[in-house]
Amino acid sequence: HVCPPREPMAEVLPSFTYERCLLPGASVRSLWKEYALFLEGKGAVEDARGVLARASGVFFRDCAPMLLYHAQFEEAHGGLDAARALCAATCALPPPAIDAYLAAANLERRAGNTDGMRAAFAAAVDALRGEPLAALVRHAAAVERKLCGDHARGVALIESAIAREPANELLWDAALECATSAVVPAAAGAGDSPAYQAAAALLERMIAADSPLPPPARRRAWLRYQRLVDDYAGSVEAMRALKRSRDEAGLELTLDSEVPESAVPKPLPKRKPNGMSVDVSMGGGAAQPSPSPQQAQAQYTPEQLAQYQQYYAQYYQQQGYGQGYYPQQ
């Protein structure tokens, strides 16, 4: 903007200005991208590649986005090997990130390399954990089903992830979504399809007594099992048979009932300075006298019982009952 377009310095000054701006702003990612875009727009692809190579080596708090941007640049200009190397470098950064593995898989998909895409998905299963792992295998199974037409390979990939994290409910949800995607409602009197049987078998594994899932997840799986039978079975007898099988196995009460109140530990009642206790579980939070010494003796340790007896003594003295009123037992 300083020189007229036809002057010799007009092509040099913008690059010179960018270089000067990078001296104090080398950690600004957007400045490197803008500089590379400017050079690319001018047709200086090699210069833009050099700028991105320098930017990839600059320390950022999170350098993965810059590496992936550089990989997209190389892919756009035919440098598939360089793009693969940059994606591999991004996948090697700790901690493992789902974006890096998805970028590597998408690069191979756009290049028509199905084996490379599957290798990227398999590497992600080995590296990722938790919610990112579940999101990746869900996407990978959908790609296998929709792009490659290989439903079984997507199921196998999810099963390999479940083998690594058997207590991850999100992985089981992804497996159930993949299984039910091929299920169609049965007509009247028609038998169960193989897809329906596969989905039912998966839910049986989820609610089994030896399932690695915690009880709340097993309960949710049981509710989804009932919904599957109700939505896709060919007769109402299938739902009734499912209920009977649960009753006979003794699992209905375990999965459908709430945790008994006696199994939930209760906190000690809060106390006021005058010895009164506040039962926070009651409506209104009204102050209530402490339990009797006999009740305290059945519930608390001898040290806590002695402290309660002291509170009782203070309480009855404050109420004016006299020294002889308080029981000594």
d(CA 87, CA 314): 73
**Six-digit token string for 32:** 């490197």
Q: What are the CA-CA distances from residue 180 to residues 98, 120, 183, 241, 254 (Å)? A: 25, 25, 5, 21, 26
Q: Is the dihedral of CA 65, 67, 71, 73 positive or negative?
A: positive
C-alpha angle 171-62-86 in degrees, rounded to nearest 5:
80
Q: Region of 130 please: left (phi>0), alpha (psi -120 to 50) or beta.
A: left
What residue type is 270 in one-letter code?
Answer: K
- Checking if the pLDDT of 292 tops 50, the result is yes
d(CA 230, CA 184): 12
d(CA 142, CA 117): 13
Is the preceding peptide bond at 95 cis, omega within 30 degrees of 0?
yes
Q: How confident is the model at residue 13 (pLDDT cuts 50, 70, 90)?
A: low
Average pLDDT over residues 146-165: 96
pLDDT tens per residue, range 309-322: 776 667 656 655 54
pLDDT tens per residue, range 200-244: 999 999 999 899 999 999 999 999 999 999 888 888 888 888 888
Looking at per-residue pLDDT, the higher value among 123 and 6 belongs to: 123
E-only strand ranges, the chain: 270-271, 277-278, 287-288
**Six-digit token string for 176:** 């159930």
d(CA 89, CA 53): 13
What residue type is 111 in one-letter code?
Answer: A
Residue 308 pLDDT? 66
d(CA 212, CA 48): 52
In three-state secondary structure terms, 278 is strand
**Contact predicate 146/138, CB 8 Å:** no
Average pLDDT over residues 89-108: 96
pLDDT tens per residue, range 14-62: 787 888 888 888 888 999 999 999 999 999 999 999 999 999 877 677 8
Average pLDDT over residues 100-124: 97
**Contact predicate 3/11, CB 8 Å:** no
pLDDT tens per residue, range 63-75: 899 999 999 999 9
User: Rg (Cα) of the chain, in Å, rounded?
Assistant: 34
What residue type is 89 in one-letter code?
Answer: A
